[in-house]
Amino acid sequence: MATTYTLISSVTVGSGGAANIEFTSIPATYTDLSVVFSIRCVRSSVVEPGMLRFNSSTSNYSLRRLNADGSTVASSAVSGETGMIFGDINGDTATSNTFGNGSIYIPNYTGSNFKSISTDVVVENNATESSQYLLAGLWSDTSAITTIRLYSRNSHNFKQYSTAYLYGISSS
């Protein structure tokens, strides 16, 4: 059971926005990793799929998601993407000054097995349309994770005040 969280690094997007956020040279000294984020992008919609990529790898991602959008609930599998969808983030027509919030848990990120993740993500919007995700993903690669990139599925920039925090979790 993980007992300690250590903040490794954090980012706040500045006034110019950002195409993506990358944590590089992640130390291999922890048991698990957790990314906690609050992101809004410039897309003219309420939601936008958020994605991550490990070690610049563009293959071997698959996932199963349980999601709701304010009117329907669905479960589906996704594979073949060049990164891992981790949930929806806010687009720019969601309620002003709100963000898509969530966390991504990555256990055993330095191990030699395939890497699994779990996420819990919500879009904040003061209207019927919204988004909630519970997701389990797999990166079928045995490499240790040293880099994590967060980006928008459809190449929309992250807006100012979007944040991401990378934590290392030690098992003792």
Partner 1 sequence: MTNKIVVDCSTGEVQEIALTAEEITEREAMAAEYAVQKAAEEAEAAAKAAAKESANAKLAALGLTAEEIAALTK
Binding-site ranges for partner 1 (CB under 8 A): 8-9, 11, 13-14, 16-27, 82, 153-155, 157, 166
Pick 13 or 126: Cβ nearer partner 1 = 13
Pick 14 or 111: Cβ nearer partner 1 = 14
Pick 140 or 155: Cβ nearer partner 1 = 155
Pick 1 or 73: Cβ nearer partner 1 = 73
CB-based burial label for 17 (10 Å; 0-12, 13-18, 19+):
middle
DSSP string, 45-72: SSEEEEEEEETT--S-EEEEEEEE-SS-
CB of 112 to partner 1, least distance (A): 21
Alpha-carbon distance of 168 to 34, in angstroms, equals 6
CB of 53 to partner 1, least distance (A): 11
CB of 98 to partner 1, least distance (A): 21
